[in-house]
Amino acid sequence: MLKNEPKQQHYLLIEKAINYLLKHHAEQPELAEIAEHIGLSEFYFQRLFVEWVGISPKRFLQFLTREHMKVLLDQGYSTMDAAYQVGLSGSGRSHELFVNTEAITPAQYRKLGKGLNIHYGFHSSPFGEYLLAITDKGICHISFVEHSEKAAEAAFKAEWLLANVQHNPDLSAKTHQQLFSSNQTQEIKLLLRGTQFQIQIWQALLSIPFGAVSNYEKLAAAIGNSAATRAAASAIAKNKIAYLIPCHRVIRKIGESGEFRWGKNRKKILLAYESAISNNKN
């Protein structure tokens, strides 16, 4: 990232540019036109974009198309099968981070977090501002700020009604720095709160590799319940740990990205970003 500006400001400019690209895709707008739309010089916009994802805006556009998503989906069938057969055992890799999960017990689930100390804060990421909440057992919540911090905070607190929740951004900042560090090697621990089926689905999501996608039918089949497509979609929609549990990597069979509780365009951007990064490494 450009050294003297916050990541959040970068993302807002990138998002605005990508929204313009999506809206005017058929017209193939020139770089200067996109830059003018977001109020930057052509040179600065190109530099900003390349530092964000490593490629030009025009090249990035190919990773946003439905056709590209369908190619990824076809590739993802065999990739996910192989990853799931290895055996999740509550662990996986997401965004090239080592992720380990622990689920609270059914008794704890009913207690709505009673006796649990949770610290949270708002932080900037390459994909916008987000709320990060942590416990001594691991991360229990990540959500992107879609409308306002107040709304994100209320939704988060509603999930843990009886927990001791404290706003402590200095403490959560330590975990935030781990998540977006370029040389992260430490294990990331997640604390999951959900039904047994939901947790199965969330753990299965960890088997979808960075830069790949799957669909709802394939995910249900991966946990041995191919008839539970709708239930799988519902479990995905209730994922409480965005980004690390990659619910954004599940798309429709026809190649459309589908819904995302933190914004459809943010989902497209996440998918295209991961695909572009993965493509650059190959």
DSSP 8-state secondary structure symbol assigned to residue 105? P
In which residue are the tokens 């519902």 written?
234
Are the CB atoms for 103 and 199 separated by under 8 Å? yes
**Given the residues 142, 241, 247, 271, the one annotated as active site:** 247
How are strands ordered across the β-sheet holding 187-192?
Answer: 91-94, 97-103, 187-192, 138-144, 128-135, 117-125, 164-167
Angle between helices 229-237 and 196-205 (to 10 degrees): 80
Catalytic, 140? Answer: no
Nearest to 152 by CA among 170, 181, 128, 116: 128
Torsion of CA 193, 194, 196, 198, to 10 degrees: -120
Query: Contacts from 32-39 at CB under 8 Å and sequence distance 24+?
Result: 38/13
Nearest to 246 by CA among 282, 198, 281, 211: 211
- Read off the tokens for 114: 């009673």
Q: How far is residue 215's CA from residue 87's CA, in Å, rounded to a whole number?
A: 19
Are the CB atoms for 276 and 268 separated by under 8 Å? no
Residues labelled as active-site residues: 247
